[in-house]
Structure 1
Amino acid sequence: MNGWSKRLTDWPPFVRELAGTLSVHAQYILHGNVRDRFLVPPKPSSLPLVDVLWEALRPDGYLALIRYDPVHGFTAHAEAEQGVAARLLGTGVIGSAPSMDALRKHLTAVAQGPARMALVIDYASRLLVSPAHINQDEHDFFRFALKLAEQATPQLGGPAERQAALFNPLIWLVDGERDLPAWLMASGPRVRTIGVALPGLDERARTSRMLAVDLGLLDAPAGSDGARAMEQFARQTDGMRTRDLHEIVRLARDRGMGATELPDAVRIYKLGFEDNLWHRGELRRRIQEGESWLHERVRGQRRAVLKTLDILKRAALGLSGAQATAPGTRPRGVLFFAGPTGVGKTELAKAVAELVFGEADSFLRFDMSEFSAEHAADRLIGAPPGYVGFEAGGELTSAVRRMPFRVILFDEIEKAHPQVLDKFLQILEDGRLTDGQGMTTHFSECVLVFTSNLGIRREDPRTGERVRTVDESMEPEEVRETVLDTINQHFTDKLNRPELLNRFGDNIVVFDFISATVAAQIFDGQLDNIIRRVSEQHRVTVDLTSRARDDLRELCPFSPQNGGRGIGNALESAFINPLARELFDRDAAPGGTLRILGVDGGDPVTLRVESP
């Protein structure tokens, strides 16, 4: 192991890679997590990236680290000898923002200068408008930079014990790997591209131990509540920067929170919401009292309702995904509703939103038949930079950022394009998505509901016709087994996405066919809804005789294939349309009564109304 590698053993990987290759590379492009803070030994301290670079370069005899950015121009970031940067660049350069033409001269002065120095070109992504469509001036500048890399020569220097021929590196800091012209980034051995990764669990754990000082846990023994809280904090911040950990602890300290309250601080920092709707006192009462209400709202689906309530109770207690390493990042609840059409899958999802969050506005629905094209994922998370719709953001990500506490329904999931399914996989696993604008959306407070009609019909291989796979004559267990086998085959064999199926786990609920008894209850409930709506909106009482109700039942026959939705469609034609006609033509006054004696079929359907 040579000198530099021994010295930098515990340093971030990107630093070791850069410092270990200074003898062969003249320029470096650092991309990714370049705005973070990084732990450096011996006593762990957290420093910005440019400070870390200086601490790594200085022992090899570098006399100055010069920094350039498009706003402030040149600054002497750090110097081992006072004024060495100014002497190299010339009078008046430090503190100025020269033109692009003048910038070329100063790049040359550093790269070919007699003193060992490094130049960091910060915010390099902002030096050009679009890396895919650069103008002539931009092209000339980066072509010059490439030629400078090819012509640069390493110079002997450094302390006596580590004399080596090293380049004076130009270090470009960019946000994304493709933010500079592709031909520069892939130009050959003199330009090296290095990714700066987000901190892993080990680095976050070391950072959390260092930050424990701010929370009064300097000497918290291993296994204590404080130590365990900081360990959990490190796991909860998966996908976040070290800088974010600093800010979260500062937020907790400013609000007088202790270590055990860090999960709330993480939520506030990520979502921007101080009030956690899942922790409201009345939520437990609503869920406890909601069983009878849900059974009334979604009739004939006792098993589905009980399974849904179990998941809501688990979500309210914060135990969703408790078996995972970082459970706090996953969605609060995940449900997969399968089964025949018109049996209450969508209705149960809406009811969950109303039960948990107290309002239907927290319900968000996406029809996956609209997301069958390859580019459809852009609608969810936003188009990439440079594409139409980039500025608008994604429909899904934007909505969840506005209100993180939601029930989100993805209807008929089997119709979505595989690339859309990959986004769902990321949400289910990590609880977050990064949109086309680089903004991260967190789904940790959402309940996700997926619905599917898989297993109800199949395509006959001989005729190509859609034929029924299950029907109401089959036993419920047989229906469930057939539907579950079809779902498993669809995700595993057809889509080759078994990992997505695994994320749903035991949360797949197969709804039963609606029986004739349940259909009669749904009919009465929907009929009462119509009468109540007329009373509330127009203050007109609609009085149906028993004969009129019987007439409507005959005009609205129940079909197990169409379920409750078929009953609603029939009622719309057989009752709502003629009722609206009567109210409109009679100009019914508030406070009046419309007594319906019977309903006559035909085209159109007519009502027999008692004369005033």
Structure 2
Amino acid sequence: MNTSFPRWLLDLERLLPIRSQFVVAGNIRDSFLVPLASGPTLVPLLRALWEQLQRQDFRCLLVYDPSDGVRVYPDDAARRELAERLFDLKLASGSQIISLESLSKLMQAVSSTREARCALVVDFASRLARQPDHLSEGEQRFFVAAEKLSLTAAPIVPRPAEDAAGSTTASHGKPLFNPVLWLLNRPQDLPSWLTLDSERVASLTVGRPDYETRQAAARQLAPLFAGYAEASEAARAQFIKSFANGTEGMGLTALADITELANHQQLGLAAIDDAVRCYKVGALDNPWRKDYLRQRIRDAGSFIEQRVKGQPQAVVKALDILKRSVMNLTGAQARSGGSRPRGVLFFAGPTGVGKTELAKTLTELVFGDERAYIRFDMSEFAEEHTGARLLGAPPGYIGFDAGGELTNAVREKPFSVVLFDEIEKAHPRILDKFLQILEDGRLTDGRGDTAWFSETILIFTSNLGIYVEDEHGRRQQNVRPDDPYAVVEERVRGAIGDYFKYRLARPEILNRIGDNIVVFDFISAEVGKLILAGMLNNVARRLQEEFKLQLALAQPVQAALVQRCLADLSNGGRGIGNRLEADFINPLSRALFLEDLNGRQRVTVTALNETDKVVTLELALS
């Protein structure tokens, strides 16, 4: 594969006859793959720039930065001597500290010299002005002089000159500018009028490498991995493909760092996925590849049934997606899906039917610890400005250096389940950010730090579709507890589609979620009895832990609680719990509070009575 210079350097070559200054911004601290005599090589920006300028007979490249002053690149005796002679510099120590006023004069001297093609790079130009929109008097004079120079400089054809060996060389015949290049993190770090008011200032954006460039870099780095010499051509090809896919969105410096990390961790050619993951999330240990995880998921049915009752269809669907995540086949149909989240689930259905509980259960199932579960109540992010709290404020705004709650949490726990509860209550502008997470598996906060979601499971919950608005804007019930599950699923899915396509006008979000919508059914009376029994067992366990008391209920009391707690199932298990608390736990606490429990071993609730809407219990202690 032939390697050419990066696009921004080719643009520089094309524009040198007509532009005197260049604002170079973006991915400037990366490495770049350039063609050298020895073959394609990864080099830093200055080396890449010099290789391009040499092709056009440039003999001198000066580099200025606010810390070290001015120096020559490459630093050799012949070029130092040339720079000292042409520009009255003293570079015996390698560099010379100069003021902004002296830098302005140097820019003029470089632009006007006819003895040699020369270029001046102003590195760390983002740090020249404290506030680009509020310049000091000295800064204002400097940038006005730079603007004036961009308009008055002329392209030149240097006079024939002697090279380092003393022979005379003919100059490149085409008139070119001796350019000034400003290296910036962001274009707005310079006064905006400098580029807007001068047609001679060109902007070059240094983007992150595309797939083909990463592939070419991976090919150059492959021999540095253990096992390369013994690997077959097929294994090498698979390595290059995996390396390029797994580093989507990264710079070439990251690929070199991953190579160094792999050598340090003794990871060979076949372990490239582990090396990339270790670089992203800082952990070599991968819970997704634990031997016991497959067995856990095979036996997960009974484990989940203990916590989430009456949702067989939802459990099967969730487990299917979980198995796909464990096999690392999420997004396998796409050319590049290695950075996407391990799994995406959209839990929809009535309130209180187990959506949040299933998310917690899956967390414990995969990671063995419910604390690996990160929850965000999206009703707290209903306003657009709250996105700064979740995702981090933009650069320059107050608090941008603190990061976002979501990005910080994922960096802290890269292997986790991230739950976004009641997603429909978030502001639509915040929902747009999920597009990048779902597609690329990453998010960059205001500090410029990237959080990788490639090892997470994302779960969204929603009550969409249970109620809809009629043509008059009135809220009406779309599905009812006595509807068959097939009807509930069809109507809920349809309402979710309508919400994203027509109300939000963001069908792309729904498209990223895909067929990962899991619809929960209403709680039936039979399931309600199981949930109630489980809650009563929890009450009994708490009494045993706190007071060493065994709890027993007389049959009439059990029947009365079933009748009271299951009278309205529209609020699901949460409604059952609320009713149990009001009609049993509160009166039980009231009755026990008046008793001396020392030495008691058993409490039996013999009767449940209600007078003037006040429930009381009759107890027998032994």
Range into which the TM-score falls when normalised by the shorter chain: over 0.9
Mapped pair 1:363 → 2:373: yes
Q: Retained in 1: the 8 A contact 2:423–2:461?
A: yes
Q: Note the C-alpha offset of 1:584.
A: 4.4
How far, CA to CA, are the matches of 2:185 and 2:546 in structure 1? 55
**What amino acid is aligned across from residue 81 of structure 1 in structure 2?**
R
1:555 to 556, 564, 575: 564
Mapped pair 1:225 → 2:235: yes
Deviations 1:119-138 (A, max 9, x none): 11112112233434544443
How far, CA to CA, are the matches of 2:87 and 2:252 in structure 1? 34
Q: Note the C-alpha offset of 1:490.
A: 1.5
2:509 to 500, 504, 517: 500
Structure 1 match to 2:125: 124
Deviations 1:181-236 (A, max 9, x none): 22223233211111101111111111111111112576788852122122221111
How far, CA to CA, are the matches of 1:235 and 1:19 in structure 2? 31
How far, CA to CA, are the matches of 1:589 and 1:430 in structure 2? 61
Mapped pair 1:74 → 2:74: no
Structure 1 match to 2:9: 15
Q: Retained in 2: the 8 A contact 1:551–1:600?
A: no
Structure 2 match to 1:3: none
The TM-score, its normalising length taken from structure 1, stands at: 0.93
**What amino acid is aligned across from residue 44 of structure 1 in structure 2?**
P
Q: Note the C-alpha offset of 1:315.
A: 1.1
Alignment of 1:322-401 (within 5 A): 322-401=332-411
How far, CA to CA, are the matches of 1:589 and 1:68 in structure 2? 83
Q: Note the C-alpha offset of 1:387.
A: 1.6
How far, CA to CA, are the matches of 1:543 and 1:321 in structure 2? 52
Matched position secondary structure for 2:16: coil
Deviations 1:418-440 (A, max 9, x none): 22221111111111111111111
Q: Note the C-alpha offset of 1:63.
A: 1.9
Structure 2 match to 1:146: 147
Q: Retained in 1: the 8 A contact 2:226–2:267?
A: no
Matched position secondary structure for 2:446: coil
Deviations 1:451-485 (A, max 9, x none): 121211112333x4311011122221112111111
How far, CA to CA, are the matches of 1:214 and 1:604 in structure 2? 78
Structure 1 match to 2:189: 179
How far, CA to CA, are the matches of 1:290 and 1:178 in structure 2? 54
How far, CA to CA, are the matches of 1:125 and 1:534 in structure 2? 65
**What amino acid is aligned across from residue 52 of structure 2 in structure 1?**
A
Mapped pair 1:529 → 2:538: yes
The TM-score, its normalising length taken from structure 2, stands at: 0.92
Q: Retained in 1: the 8 A contact 2:83–2:89?
A: no
Counterparts in 2 of 1:601 and 1:360: CA distance versus 1, 3 Å: farther
Q: Note the C-alpha offset of 1:49.
A: 0.7
> Would you say how many aligned residue pairs link Structure 1 and Structure 2?
604
Counterparts in 2 of 1:288 and 1:554: CA distance versus 1, 3 Å: same
How far, CA to CA, are the matches of 2:538 and 2:195 in structure 1? 65
Q: Note the C-alpha offset of 1:151.
A: 2.3
How far, CA to CA, are the matches of 1:142 and 1:543 in structure 2? 85
Deviates more, 1:441-450 or 1:87-96: 87-96
How far, CA to CA, are the matches of 1:590 and 1:96 in structure 2? 88
Matched position secondary structure for 2:96: coil
Mapped pair 1:306 → 2:316: yes
How far, CA to CA, are the matches of 1:9 and 1:26 in structure 2? 28
Matched position secondary structure for 1:595: strand
2:35 to 37, 41, 53: 41
Aligned-CA RMSD value = 2.3
Q: Note the C-alpha offset of 1:537.
A: 4.3
Structure 1 match to 2:56: 60
Q: Retained in 1: the 8 A contact 2:63–2:121?
A: yes
Counterparts in 2 of 1:583 and 1:30: CA distance versus 1, 3 Å: farther
**What amino acid is aligned across from residue 65 of structure 1 in structure 2?**
L
Q: Note the C-alpha offset of 1:414.
A: 2.0
Q: Note the C-alpha offset of 1:299.
A: 0.6
Matched position secondary structure for 1:105: helix
Counterparts in 2 of 1:529 and 1:121: CA distance versus 1, 3 Å: same
Counterparts in 2 of 1:188 and 1:587: CA distance versus 1, 3 Å: farther
Structure 1 match to 2:165: none
Q: Retained in 2: the 8 A contact 1:534–1:542?
A: yes
How far, CA to CA, are the matches of 1:574 and 1:566 in structure 2? 12
Counterparts in 2 of 1:213 and 1:473: CA distance versus 1, 3 Å: same
Unaligned runs of 5+ in 2: 161-168
Mapped pair 1:287 → 2:297: yes
How far, CA to CA, are the matches of 1:414 and 1:424 in structure 2? 13
Counterparts in 2 of 1:564 and 1:551: CA distance versus 1, 3 Å: same
Q: Retained in 1: the 8 A contact 2:157–2:171?
A: no
Q: Note the C-alpha offset of 1:282.
A: 2.0
**What amino acid is aligned across from residue 179 of structure 1 in structure 2?**
D
Deviations 1:126-177 (A, max 9, x none): 2233434544443343233222212222221286473122222111111123
**What amino acid is aligned across from residue 409 of structure 2 in structure 1?**
A
Matched position secondary structure for 1:312: helix
Alignment of 1:74-223 (within 5 A): 74-78=70-74, 81-92=79-90, 95-114=95-114, 115-157=116-158, 160=170, 162-215=172-225, 223=233
**What amino acid is aligned across from residue 399 of structure 1 in structure 2?**
A
How far, CA to CA, are the matches of 2:301 and 2:188 in structure 1? 53
Deviations 1:517-547 (A, max 9, x none): 0011111111211221332345443333333
Counterparts in 2 of 1:594 and 1:200: CA distance versus 1, 3 Å: same
Q: Retained in 2: the 8 A contact 1:31–1:176?
A: yes
Q: Note the C-alpha offset of 1:588.
A: 4.3
1:486 to 465, 486, 495: 495
Counterparts in 2 of 1:220 and 1:67: CA distance versus 1, 3 Å: farther
How far, CA to CA, are the matches of 2:341 and 2:347 in structure 1? 17
Counterparts in 2 of 1:99 and 1:543: CA distance versus 1, 3 Å: farther
Q: Note the C-alpha offset of 1:582.
A: 4.0
Counterparts in 2 of 1:548 and 1:185: CA distance versus 1, 3 Å: farther
Mapped pair 1:595 → 2:604: yes
Q: Retained in 2: the 8 A contact 1:538–1:590?
A: no
